[in-house]
Amino acid sequence: MGEAPQVLYVNGFSKFCHETQHSNHVNGILHNSNNHHDQFSRFGLDNQQKNGSNGNYDSLWYEEVIDDDLKWSFKLNRVLHKGASKYQDIALLDTKRFGKALMIDGKMQSAESDEFIYHECLIHPSLLCHPNPKKVFIMGGGEGSAAREVLRHKSMDKVVMCDIDQEVVDFCRKYLTVNRETFYNRKLDLVINDAKAELEKRKEKYDVIVGDLADPLEDGPCYQLYTKSFYEKILKPKLNDHGIFVTQAGPAGIFTHKEVFTSIYNTIKQVFKYVMVYSAHVPSFADTWGWVMASDEPLSIGAEEMDKRIKARINGELLYLNGAWFHSAATMNKTVSQSLKNETHVYTEENARFIPGHGVAFRF
């Protein structure tokens, strides 16, 4: 049998985390099968993190803690970079299975091999349902992938991407080379601010508003952007006629959909006349993922019409989305459908639901 692995904590609080290694407060863990004690510095890898002087990471694994009794492991080629802002811990991992993977607060945000699934699903259905989208506001989206997909639409005049965390944006601009051109597009207005405050102060309205936010984490930076009061008093008034709101809504799997997905849906249903959900399996998330789309105008669009609009409106080929898939993705299985129907919880500032884990504020 092999040697027992050493446990390393990716969030950089090695003493604290070592004392609480069985707690669900720890989101991400590094395992190294070497016998010596490795350490993860808050601002990057210590030299001794590497297995020997040649920098070989053959025995390095990353563990994402999904719940108290469930972990998801990735074998790594290496850790490319690690940093922290006052809001979030950030890491860029080179995984053997999924390529480069962006982790925030120990949670997988996107992976190079399959991020197209998440971002095509987040962006294109709402823009294709809109008759002629020209202005889009993205809440979050610091890695640039959501903006990249919006800018593929030929009708687009302006994209505002508002992320609260300058360090995440700078990190992604530097290390996620796939989106480098997006950040230099003249149609992109990049704003560093709280999306709630930014929307509130802006006078212009938008055809589509996108929630590309982190999951609601206790002590995380953005759970208040999932509340009824925010949707009703700040977001909805910033939509043009025929305006559409779409947001990522967390895990929508058979065992996980009640964590936040059904609550986000029910909250949005209190504010908009027409609300629909759809989902897709994202391999690097180890689950089915959900999105909620809403408007005060009907959202119906036929599969053939969607395919026509994809061909006419979008530059380049989509890898995942087509009309037939979208119609099937909007049909939930019996259990999830029943949960959506029966959900009564509404997000408020005082009564929120959270994905298992904690944001960086928990550690101070």
Catalytic choice (212, 219, 241, 307): 212
For residues 192 and 163, give the distance between their C-alpha atoms in angstroms, rounded to a whole number. 5
Residue with tokens 């391999």, as numbered in its chain: 283
Biggest alpha carbon–alpha carbon distance for the chain: 65
Catalytic residue check, 212: yes
Strand partners, 244: 208, 295
For residues 16 and 233, give the distance between their C-alpha atoms in angstroms, rounded to a whole number. 40
Tokens representing 295 are 């408007």
Helix (H) or strand (E) holding 93: strand 89-95
Residues 6+ apart with CB under 8 A from 128: 301, 306, 309, 310, 313
Helix axes 334-342, 261-269, angle to 10 degrees: 50
Which own/partner pairs from 303-312 qualify as long-range (CB within 8 Å, at least 24 positions apart)?
A: 303/327, 306/128, 309/128, 310/124, 310/128
For residues 251 and 107, give the distance between their C-alpha atoms in angstroms, rounded to a whole number. 12
Tell me how far apart the terminal alpha carbons of the chain are, to the nearest angstrom. Answer: 40
In whole angstroms, what separates CA 188 from the centre of its chain? 20
Radius of gyration (Cα) for the chain, nearest Å?
20
For residues 355 and 66, give the distance between their C-alpha atoms in angstroms, rounded to a whole number. 9
Tokens representing 213 are 């936010």
DSSP string, 279-297: EEEEGGGTEEEEEEEEESS
Query: For residue 66, which amino acid is it?
Result: I
Asked whether 106 and 66 are in contact (CB, 8 A), the reply is no
Residues annotated catalytic, as ranges: 212
